[in-house]
Structure 1
């Protein structure tokens, strides 16, 4: 067949087939007496193979090596698949940055920053988190308790997998942006200073079983709507110590400082990034209790 017929059979332009022939990828079977290229069935098979490899992104030099048996097709395919995986990861990160920009009133500088955050490697992600902790732990009284607490917080890293999901990339961008917020940092600094200053009295629970009891108790009252909020406040404070006006005011001050959805969101995002079990939202339980507690105090 001539080059025009081969073009119609394969759907490739004559110009492309001629170029592949000239570089030796799809040599003609023979030439006519007038010097025109002639192709056979083997040419169709070879041309289809070249087109497939090109569509997969292989360059012409590599395709030539494969066709000439200078390169093993399995090794070439494996190497190219690895390269495509890297490209897919980069594209996913770029898409996440664009999605974040599209969801807010952003500037070109915002896009550049978000793209840089999205594509941050493990060491850069850890640097962002370490900088956040360096900021919020500044000025905290040094003690065995504070050192243990800060070490525990710093031990948790944002370990994105080699092939993160869209949800994990979005979570990392949200986390990195949240850690930049000055008011969030200042609130956590103040919480740390109050918690570890000499003579500080802890009025809010830190034991997980006690926190679970509190959340379950408030959830029952909040969702059921059958209990008097003042009764729930009295029950909780009686469990935490002597139910006095002094304790109520201390708990009130502690809750007003510590209730911030971003603190809870931090751990929820870490769970998504690291592939942990989801962390349920409980901040609305504490907020309900704070509102109920305010109603019990003299105005």
Structure 2
């Protein structure tokens, strides 16, 4: 042995690195940190290369790299860069899991669920993204597609699956829970199967000839979208202008007089052509997916029905 080589005892190595003697001895026994020299009495000593090796082992262990992988790194089979990339991916998965757990806890803290509901929340939220998508896909697959309306419903559902993000807000968690409840309901399945989404304009006004209905519904939809864009609610005074314009267009197209009877007839037809529970599902999907609400894409019927029935004096 070269007498100029600086050697360290286990105790000295421990002092320099802060690693317990017992741990250094363990690494040495399993071959990760072979001693540079052993005295006749069996005492181990280590050179500066071993000191660097020990620091490398400790750095990788602090990053949760397992001993088998560390052995491959020290043996040259794997680079530190490759191990770091793999560990970064694993850490990202853990971070997503922790964020989701945090969101579930916040949801439970704010909503005071019963014990049975708490178990259901935990079960549904801890599903992987793929499992959640599969849950909705199974619901869609259960829809019959015997009519164009049913086929349209299934196609629309498949084009916009709810996808809960890794770090959901409490509102998104609540929306996902409501979606899960809806798709588990056979009654909702039947309602969804009957609803084309979005409904064709000629289907949104039952009892009116298709061509006329399409023109009238398109006009009503555009008028309501403009009112919403301007921040006008159905109860606001400014809504009367929208109602007057829509009612006048209907009266002209249908050859009926403007008045309370026509307004009530219109309100009834629009209610019949609109399923609020189906619209609710789509609102929940938009919430889960954090999509921007575009007034022109919202169902116009609820706004117009409410505005038609507001007790305003005739103009």
Alignment correspondent of 1:294: 309
Structure 1 residues 239 and 155, CA gap change in structure 2 (3 angstroms): farther
Alignment correspondent of 2:15: 8
| Correspondence 1:102-113 to 2 at 5 A | 102-113=109-120
Q: Which consecutive unaligned segments of at least 5 residues does structure 1 have?
A: none
Alignment correspondent of 1:232: 242
**Aligned 8 A contact 1:96 1:169 in 2:** yes
| Correspondence 1:106-121 to 2 at 5 A | 106-118=113-125, 119-121=127-129
Offset at 1:228? 5.1
2: CA distance, partners of 1:188 / 1:220:
36
2: CA distance, partners of 1:187 / 1:296:
36
Match of 1:201 among 176, 186, 207: 207
Match of 1:25 among 32, 35, 58: 32
Match of 1:250 among 257, 265, 285: 265
Structure 1 residues 183 and 85, CA gap change in structure 2 (3 angstroms): closer
Pick which of 116-125 and 255-264 moved more: 255-264
Cα-to-partner distance string for 1:245-276 (whole Å, 9 max, x where unaligned): 3432233333596557734523413643xxxx
Q: Which is higher, the Rg of structure 1 or of structure 2?
A: 2
Structure 1 residues 133 and 247, CA gap change in structure 2 (3 angstroms): farther
Alignment correspondent of 2:283: 265
Relative to the length of structure 2, the TM-score reads 0.67
2: CA distance, partners of 1:297 / 1:165:
48
Offset at 1:3? 2.5
1:127 is aligned to 2:135: yes
**Aligned 8 A contact 1:172 1:269 in 2:** no
* Equivalent position SS for 1:69: coil
Alignment correspondent of 2:293: 279
Structure 1 residues 177 and 89, CA gap change in structure 2 (3 angstroms): same
Pick which of 167-176 and 52-61 moved more: 167-176
1:175 is aligned to 2:176: yes
2: CA distance, partners of 1:184 / 1:290:
28
RMSD, matched Cα = 4.5
**Aligned 8 A contact 1:233 1:289 in 2:** yes
Q: Which consecutive unaligned segments of at least 5 residues does structure 2 have?
A: 1-7
Cα-to-partner distance string for 1:210-231 (whole Å, 9 max, x where unaligned): 52432213554737x9955444
Relative to the length of structure 1, the TM-score reads 0.70
Structure 1 residues 7 and 235, CA gap change in structure 2 (3 angstroms): same
